[in-house]
Amino acid sequence: MSGILNSSIGRKFAMALSALFLMVFLLQHFAINLLSVFSADAFNDVSHFMGTFWVIQYVMQPVLIFGVIFHFVMGFVLEIKNKKARTISYAKNNGAANSSWMSRNMIYSGLAILAFICLHFYDFWLPEINTKYIQGDMTGLLANGEYRYFEELQHKFVDIWRVALYCIAFVFLALHLLHGFNSAFQSAGANNKYTKGLKGFGKAYAIIIPLGFIFIALFHHFNH
């Protein structure tokens, strides 16, 4: 692994792989949370399955947390290295003209998403880890015998400040994905006859998923 990360191509490739993995996670995370808009029971059942099935808990979750941390750390490493390289070339050929605002500001949209992830882990993931692995309650049940997941999710979206922060973060998520989606496929070497179609799919993904998350947050705020 360290060999790959010694070259800029290797670092970009590793960054692209972590990005592709996180975009697959985001799609499943969106699908599960969208369920909560249509059926509290279905959301509770799927959340309990995901929250107790050993492959998800002990294999996929550690891989996901590693993927999130790796993506952010590598993002900073690449930004620092690019910044050093860029200062010279930009002056010469007016780099601003050749790149989009989104691509020049990936570090800032990334930082906004990192701030969101910190709040989000405080809101959802840490309480989940506390209930299941510190208090040892894997039942997922409230005192009244009902599953707790839907009620906990709705409760989080009562406060308008949290809803506002989440929605602002989802706008930055869209800006990050608008450049990141296609750049990840490019760095992973996907340059073929499907690239044009992939570009269109990438734009749709970058707009629909964050908009969908905004809808979920607003839906629970106005329907609790």
Q: Is 181 in the site for ligand HEM (CB under 6 A)?
A: no
CB of 215 to ligand HEM, least distance (A): 8
Q: Is 128 in the site for ligand HEM (CB under 6 A)?
A: yes
CB of 197 to ligand HEM, least distance (A): 25
Measured from each CB, the residue nearest to ligand HEM is: 124
State which of residues 40, 45, 51, 70 lies at the interface with ligand HEM (CB under 6 A). 51
CB of 85 to ligand HEM, least distance (A): 28
- Three-state secondary structure readout of the chain: CCCHHHCHHHHHHHHHHHHHHHHHHHHHHHHHHHHHHHCHHHHHHHHHHHHHCHHHHHHHHHHHHHHHHHHHHHHHHHHHHHHHHHHHHHHHHCHHHHCCHHHHCHHHHHHHHHHHHHHHHHHHHHHHHHHHHHCCCCCCECCCCCECHHHHHHHHCCCHHHHHHHHHHHHHHHHHHHHHHHHHHHHCCCCCCCHHHHHHHHHHHHHHHHHHHHHHHHHHHHCC
State which of residues 64, 111, 165, 188 lies at the interface with ligand HEM (CB under 6 A). 64
Q: Which CB atom, from 4 or from 141, has the smaller least distance to ligand HEM?
A: 141
Q: Which CB atom, from 173 or from 206, has the smaller least distance to ligand HEM?
A: 173
Q: List interacting residues with ligand HEM (CB under 6 A).
A: 26, 29, 33, 50-51, 61, 64, 68, 113, 120, 124-125, 128, 153, 173, 213, 216-217
